[in-house]
Amino acid sequence: MAVQLPPGFRFMPTEEQLLHGYLLKKVKGEALPCDIVTDCDIYGDGKEPWKIFGENSTEKFYVFAKLKKVSANGKNIERKAGTGTWKGQKPKIVKDSNNNHIGLNKSFVFQVKNSGSGSASSNVNGHWLMHEYSLVNDQSGYVLCVIRNKISNSEQVEDEDKEFTAEEFEDKLSTPEIQPFSHHQQQQNYYMPPLAALSYY
C-alpha cells in the first residue's frame, strides 16, 4: 500500500488537512488531492490489521473506512476484526485554525480475543494503534483512519522504551510532529501526498 515519495519529502498532514482536505471531499464525492488515502475495509472476518497492512510494517497507513452498525436499529458500531477487536477511548474534539469544531478524533488499540492479559501488548503480531477521524454532523458513515504498528518483529518503533495503554497513546498520533529526516527513513517507501501536507527537509 506504500507510495514512493520524492527524496526529502514525508507525508505529515495536520488534523484539519485530514478532515477538510480528504474526508470532507470523500463524503461530498469530490476529487481528492491524490490517492494517498484509499478505501479499506478494516472490520469483519479475516481483517486483523497485520493481514491488511503487513505485520512487519512500521509505517502509518491512511485509509477511508465506512462504519457499520451491529444491528440496523442500534447505535453500536461493529469493531470486530478477525480474531480481535478495536477498543476505543473517549473521542477528542478537533478544531480548525479558526477554533471551529470540525470533527472528532478517537483513539483505538487492537486487542486479540482471549489474549490472556487482555492487553494489546500480548499480541505477537505487534501493537496496533489507530486514530479515527470523523466530521461533525456527518451521517455518511465514512471516517478517516490513521493506523500503525508500534512494534514490528519485537523491535521498538520510534524511540519508545515501554508498552503503552490506549489511554497513554491518546495524544501520540493525534498531532503530527516535524522530525529530522534521516538517511534510513529516505530508503523507506512513503505515500505520495498533496502539496498542502508535504514537509521538505
- The CATH number of 15-152 is 2.170.150.80
| Cα 4–chain centre separation | 19
**Alpha carbon distance, N-terminus to C-terminus of the chain:** 24
68 phi, psi to nearest 5 deg: -125, 140
In whole angstroms, give the CA distance from residue 65 to residue 69: 13
Instruction: Tell me which residue has cell 505485520.
Output: 55
State how far the Cα of 66 lies from the Cα of 5, in Å rounded to an integer: 27
The conformation of residue 196, written as its DSSP 8-state character, comes to G
Q: What pLDDT sits at residue 186?
A: 40
Predicted TM-score (pTM) of this structure:
0.72
Q: What is the pLDDT along the chain (201 residues), one digit of tens a residue?
A: 556 667 887 889 999 999 999 999 999 999 998 888 999 999 999 999 999 999 888 889 999 999 999 888 888 999 999 999 999 998 999 999 999 999 999 999 999 987 555 454 455 788 999 999 999 999 999 999 999 998 744 444 343 334 444 544 455 444 444 343 343 444 443 334 444 465 544
Identify the helix (H) or strand (E) that includes residue 51: helix 49-53
Cell 444491528 maps to which residue? 71
Q: 159-189 burial by CB neighbour count: b if 16+ within 10 A, else e?
A: eeeeebebeebbebbbebeeeeeeeeeeeee
The answer to whether 23 touches 101, Cβ cutoff 8 Å, is no
User: Residue 142 corresponds to which cell in the numbers above?
Assistant: 465514512
Q: How do 92-95 and 84-88 pair as beta strands?
A: unpaired
CA distance 134 to 16: 11
Per DSSP, the residues of 65-120 read EE--BSSTT--PBP-EETTEEEEE---EEEE-TTS-EEEEEEEEEEEETT-SSSSG
